[in-house]
Chain A
Amino acid sequence: MLNTFVAVLRRDLLLAWRGRADVLVTLAFFVIVVCLFPFGVGAEPNQLRAIAPGVLWVAVLLSCLLSMHRLFAQDHADGTLEQLLLSSEPAVVWVGAKVLAFWLSTGLPVVVVAPGLALLLDLEQGALPVLVVSLLLGTPILALLGAVGAALTLGVRGGGMLLALLVLPLFVPVLIFGAGAVEAELSGTGAVAHLLLLGGGCAGALALAPWACAASLRISME
């Protein structure tokens, strides 16, 4: 079981490495979305500082959504997914490995870049660790929930927009607690409660989403 997990994880990471241009596009999208806001709302530092947590989190959410459809599309196209579903290994194992590989290759780079962008928006440096921790706890939830949506919309026409419609409402709690953590840190009330709730959400998503995702894949591939 662990062997399958590691094998799928390594394979997907290798594929992600070979197609690293895709990851770079996601990152560039993230950077550009954040950089658009000063043009839209004005470059007044006070204002930027006030909206920075929300802007960063919304940009993370959108860039995650943008890359989500890639999660199963390739394997669906070349028949790998069918083979995996036919194999005797429990689907939860390799689904978990795929989501983890997806998060490592698209979620993690975004988390790494985010503090740099936070400086562009003049976010206080004291809040940067909280931002990073909130992203580290929140982006896995996005990946896990998005995986369910990606599995359900696999091969459906207009799948990208549909995926957005399906998962964005579900992302709202993550956005609230993620951006809320940074804001709470800035306002001095402490971000612990927010981060604990995000952690709880992450644990819950880890426990439930792989099963839901495996079941959804089975539904889509029948």
Chain B
Amino acid sequence: MQWDSLSAFWDMGGAAAFVWGSYGVTFALVALEFFLVRRRRLDTVRRLLRWRRAVGKEKKERAA
């Protein structure tokens, strides 16, 4: 084990801002991408469902 204490771990030999800045931004971006992909999927399903029902209704009306 390299670290004497938790605070030594967080300090990263004085380079805390650089190391944690790198990891923080990376994981924030990954989380953001994950979230955006999920939202896009939900949006698409919702929009296409609405579209499908609108088209279906139109067809029924035309048939009637």
In the complex, A touching B (Cβ < 8 A): no
